[in-house]
Structure 1
Amino acid sequence: MRMIVVFYSFEGNTKLIAESIAEAIDADILELKPKKEMKSKGFMKYVWGGKAAMMKTKPELLAFENNPQDYDVLFIGTPVWAWTYTPPLNTFLSTCSLSNKKIALFCCHGGGKGKIFEKMQKALEGNQILGEIDFRDPLKKNTDTNIQRAKEWAKDITKTI
């Protein structure tokens, strides 16, 4: 069974978790990279990012190294922006046409996941959702614990397949 971890990370939190998951289950990895990355710092990144997420923008992404269609199982991760998934993930979900896949969802946030998983599940209708997990500031708080938690969760997910 071919597995891939697909993710977008702005400040490195989601990348940390994605790489931990990929390592634990020996999966390929695909980082979503916008052609034009947001460069805002400080408070403005929240204003810009929140607005972009709420407006459901779809930035153009760099070409994928791996085709997600070629995989049976996808672990999909994103930061939480304005209680939803990020614009790069919005682009991915709206252009990739995933169906009949087994998918596990993860997110990273600084203050709450909101209804992100419900929104992701709605965007992924026609697929089997295997599970979901969230992490609060994994680079800042309990990094080793969060890495271990991500690895154990991923291994548990693969046992159900």
Structure 2
Amino acid sequence: MLKTLVIFYSFEGNTKFIAQTIAEKLGADILELKPEEEIKTKGFMKYVWGGSQVVMGKMPKLKPFDKDPQDYDLLIIGTPVWAWTYTPPLNTFFNTTKIVGKKIALFSCHGGQNAKTFEKMEKALQGNEIIARQDFFEPLRDKEGNRKKVLSWIDAIINQNLP
């Protein structure tokens, strides 16, 4: 079995729910990306502030990691979808952490559409093998349905006969 790390950022808990479900299923380690200063707004303004950070290419300073992605064979990376792409904490991670030659699975959580999130993540992760991608619609609204979807997706990854 591949040594696996689930890397994610979660603002409202949706992505964390999916990440924890994956980690439990695989017995994987978890690295939660946490900005030193989190957006504190709720309601509609979270979209304004979050979206403007994405558009401006912000890279918030992250709290130190307790895991090194280079120590793992398989990375499963997850993000909420903000302004049709991955979040600023993922932008920081992709631009400050060297990741090359890894097997990577991508997931996203959204309340509308995934848009070009995976394509943009793949571009940021060039030099790696993307083995799977899956989006989840409002995971906390249908926890049981999304849990089943996660488990099915992870079974499909495991059954790819990865070394």
Q: Is the 8 A contact 1:33 1:88 kept in 2?
A: yes
What are the within-5 Å matches in structure 2 for residues 102-121 of structure 1? Answer: 102-121=103-122
Question: Please, which runs of 5 or more residues in structure 1 have no aligned partner?
Answer: none
Q: Is the 8 A contact 1:24 1:155 kept in 2?
A: no
Per the normalisation by structure 2, the TM-score is 0.96
Q: Which residue of 2 aligns with 1:143?
A: 143
Q: Which residue of 2 aligns with 1:157?
A: 157
Q: Which residue of 2 aligns with 1:20?
A: 21
Q: Any idea what the Cα deviations from partners look like across 1:29-67, whole Å, max 9, x if unmatched?
A: 110000001101111110000010111110000011111
Q: Is the 8 A contact 1:104 1:129 kept in 2?
A: yes
- Equivalent-residue separation in structure 2 for 1:155 and 1:26 (angstroms): 13
- Equivalent-residue separation in structure 2 for 1:149 and 1:83 (angstroms): 22
- Equivalent-residue separation in structure 1 for 2:63 and 2:129 (angstroms): 27
Q: Which residue of 1 aligns with 2:124?
A: 123
What SS does the aligned partner of 2:150 have? helix
Q: Is the 8 A contact 1:80 1:107 kept in 2?
A: yes
Q: Which residue of 2 aligns with 1:91?
A: 92
| Structure 1 residue 151 displacement after superposition | 1.8
CA RMSD of aligned residues (A): 0.8
- Equivalent-residue separation in structure 2 for 1:145 and 1:124 (angstroms): 30
| Structure 1 residue 152 displacement after superposition | 1.9
Question: Please, which runs of 5 or more residues in structure 2 have no aligned partner?
Answer: none
- Equivalent-residue separation in structure 1 for 2:136 and 2:111 (angstroms): 9
- 1:33 counterpart = 2:34: yes
Q: Any idea what the Cα deviations from partners look like across 1:110-130, whole Å, max 9, x if unmatched?
A: 000011000000000000000
Q: Which residue of 2 aligns with 1:46?
A: 47
Q: How many residues align?
A: 160
- Equivalent-residue separation in structure 1 for 2:107 and 2:33 (angstroms): 15
| Structure 1 residue 157 displacement after superposition | 0.9
Structure 1 runs (4+) greater than 6 angstroms displaced: none
Q: Any idea what the Cα deviations from partners look like across 1:117-149, whole Å, max 9, x if unmatched?
A: 000000000000001000111101x21010111
- 1:133 counterpart = 2:138: no
Per the normalisation by structure 1, the TM-score is 0.97
What SS does the aligned partner of 2:78 have? strand
What letter is aligned with 1:87? Answer: P
